[in-house]
């Protein structure tokens, strides 16, 4: 059956070209038979990918053994063998199994790892020093990223994200700056957008969404020069608010909350940051004379922190305008974090009384919690209700640990907060059932 389906699908473009069937019919036949061809299910596909990943990593370990008996020429032959096998697998997939996601992902993953193994073994054979570790990662990633597009494969992209984040951290240390992270990140983005457009809620798009958000967060942390103290506050506030808004602009309507990575990361980030900024130490170093002075510091890269902030602000504001037009208060509460943080950041100076900074932040976090709670109660969303409760309780608990209250009072407060949690949930459930 599979062989016949494969033959039929390969014939379709010719049939369209010769006018036997039209494009729509070809598309319908393709969509109808495709599941038969790749009907191995997601579990099987994951097993294939895991297999390729393990074999690839096993090859790296075997190579890392540093076989002492091998001469330079033997090592050279060995270093190329995984690469040759990987390329043959990919070529075969492109020729014979272009429709099989398992083959595309599996062979792509193996070849991606083989590239690293090949360059790594050569570096090892010639005892290359650590001076150029960043160069090693960069070469590997550049030779690997085209596979994502040629094979339409996502696992190599996940490896690529991990690789460029690693590159950013190493390059920041070795080269003093890692601005290349940004073009590298952009090079992987079209694949994610394409996958989200095609099927936003399937497993592949979900994994890609998580990985893309985490990569941009880790990459931002790695590439920030931190030349201006505290600039990370507005940068991360804008980044999380932007991720949150991206969800509402393009990715609304997921079948369940767990399939909204952008929303989860955005909400968690906004809440996490607002709670963090209620502490006095978050604002301590801002506007002090401290600047980064180690040899790692590069002035032009320091300037780039402002470019990152400006880009983020443009992206965030572009998305926020829509929320403002629609007068959606709930979204505005979350996406508005930079509107609180940026003025406070500008206000902060060594002699600014801390209460001016902490008080508005506490107020914002409190209102955020109340609004979420209210939204949950009104619309009967258990998740919103609990998130709202969690924010309010966390805020109370944090202030509690801040202060010097006796244990007995703290104990009573914990019991009261816990009871409130249970009571509110019970109340909502009764109301929903009624």
Partner 1 sequence: MISRRHRRIILAAFIGLAIAQYAVPISMINKRQSTLEQGVTYKFRIGPVDPYDPFLGRYLALDLEAATFNNWRGEPLQAGQTLYAVLEQDKQGFARVITLSMDPPGTRDYLKARVVWQSGSQVRLRLPFDRYYLEENAAQTVWQMQRSNPQQAVPVHIVVKLQDGFGVLEELYFDDKPIFEYMQEQGLWPPLG
Contacts with partner 1, residue ranges (CB under 8 A): 9, 12-14, 16-17, 26-27, 30, 60, 63-68, 72, 76, 79-80, 83, 87, 90-91, 94-95, 98, 115-116, 118-120, 122-131, 139, 143, 146-147, 150, 176, 294-296
Distance CA 374, CA 27 (A): 47
Q: How far is the CB of 83 from partner 1 (least distance, A)?
A: 6
Of residues 3 and 65, the one with the C-beta less far from partner 1: 65
Of residues 110 and 248, the one with the C-beta less far from partner 1: 110
Beta strands in 256-364 (DSSP E): none
Q: How far is the CB of 68 from partner 1 (least distance, A)?
A: 4
Q: How far is the CB of 226 from partner 1 (least distance, A)?
A: 16
Tokens of 410: 């703290």
305 and 227 Cβ atoms separated by less than 8 Å: yes
Of residues 61 and 186, the one with the C-beta less far from partner 1: 61
> CA distances (Å), 57 to each of 50, 109, 114, in order?
10, 10, 9
Q: How far is the CB of 63 from partner 1 (least distance, A)?
A: 8
242 and 316 Cβ atoms separated by less than 8 Å: yes
Distance CA 97, CA 396 (A): 58
Work out the number of other CB atoms within 10 angstroms of the CB of residue 111: 27
Q: How far is the CB of 265 from partner 1 (least distance, A)?
A: 28
Q: How far is the CB of 111 from partner 1 (least distance, A)?
A: 8
Closest-CA residue to 306 (of 406, 235, 408) = 235
Tell me the residue length of the chain.
Answer: 434
Of residues 114 and 372, the one with the C-beta less far from partner 1: 114
Of residues 130 and 281, the one with the C-beta less far from partner 1: 130
Helix boundaries (H) for 175-298: 181-198, 203-223, 232-250, 261-276
Of residues 28 and 329, the one with the C-beta less far from partner 1: 28
348 and 277 Cβ atoms separated by less than 8 Å: no
């Amino acid at each position: 059956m599979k062989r016949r389906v494969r033959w039929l699908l390969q014939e379709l473009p010719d049939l369209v070209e010769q006018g036997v069937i039209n494009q729509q019919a070809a598309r319908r036949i393709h969509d109808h038979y495709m599941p038969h061809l790749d009907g191995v299910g997601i579990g099987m596909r994951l097993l294939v990918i895991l297999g390729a990943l393990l074999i690839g990593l096993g090859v790296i370990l075997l190579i890392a053994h540093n076989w002492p008996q091998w001469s330079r020429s033997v090592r050279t032959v060995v270093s190329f063998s995984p690469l040759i096998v990987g390329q043959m697998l990919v070529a075969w997939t492109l020729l014979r199994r272009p429709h099989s996601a398992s083959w595309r992902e599996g062979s792509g993953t193996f070849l991606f790892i083989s590239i690293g193994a090949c360059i790594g073994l050569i570096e090892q054979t010639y005892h290359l020093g650590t001076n150029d570790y960043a160069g090693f990662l960069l070469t590997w990633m550049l030779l690997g990223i085209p596979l994502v597009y040629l094979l339409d494969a996502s696992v190599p992209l996940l490896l690529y994200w991990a690789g460029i984040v690693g590159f950013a951290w190493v390059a920041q240390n070795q080269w003093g700056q890692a601005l290349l992270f940004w073009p590298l990140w952009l090079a992987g983005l079209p694949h994610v957008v394409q996958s989200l457009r095609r099927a936003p809620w399937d497993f592949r798009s979900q994994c890609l969404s998580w990985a893309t958000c985490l990569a941009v967060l880790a990459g931002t942390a790695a590439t920030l020069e931190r030349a201006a103290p505290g600039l990370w506050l507005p940068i991360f506030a804008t980044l999380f608010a932007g991720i949150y808004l991206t969800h509402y602009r393009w990715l609304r309507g997921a079948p369940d909350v767990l399939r909204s990575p952008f929303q989860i990361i955005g909400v968690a980030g906004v809440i996490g940051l607002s709670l963090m900024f209620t502490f006095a130490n978050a604002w301590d170093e801002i506007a002090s004379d401290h600047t980064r002075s180690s040899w790692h510091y590069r002035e032009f890269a320091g300037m780039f922190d402002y470019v990152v902030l400006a880009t983020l602000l443009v992206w965030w504001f572009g998305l926020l305008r829509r929320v403002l037009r629609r007068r959606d208060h709930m979204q505005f509460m979350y996406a508005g974090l930079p509107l609180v943080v940026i003025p406070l950041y500008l206000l902060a100076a060594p002699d600014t009384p801390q209460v001016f900074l902490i008080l508005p932040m506490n107020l914002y976090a409190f209102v955020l919690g109340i609004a979420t709670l209210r939204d949950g109660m009104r619309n009967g969303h258990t998740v919103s209700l609990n998130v709202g409760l969690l924010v309010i309780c966390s805020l109370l608990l944090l202030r509690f640990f801040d202060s010097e209250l006796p244990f007995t009072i703290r104990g009573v407060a914990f019991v009261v907060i816990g009871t409130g949690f249970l009571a509110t949930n019970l109340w909502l459930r009764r109301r929903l059932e009624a």
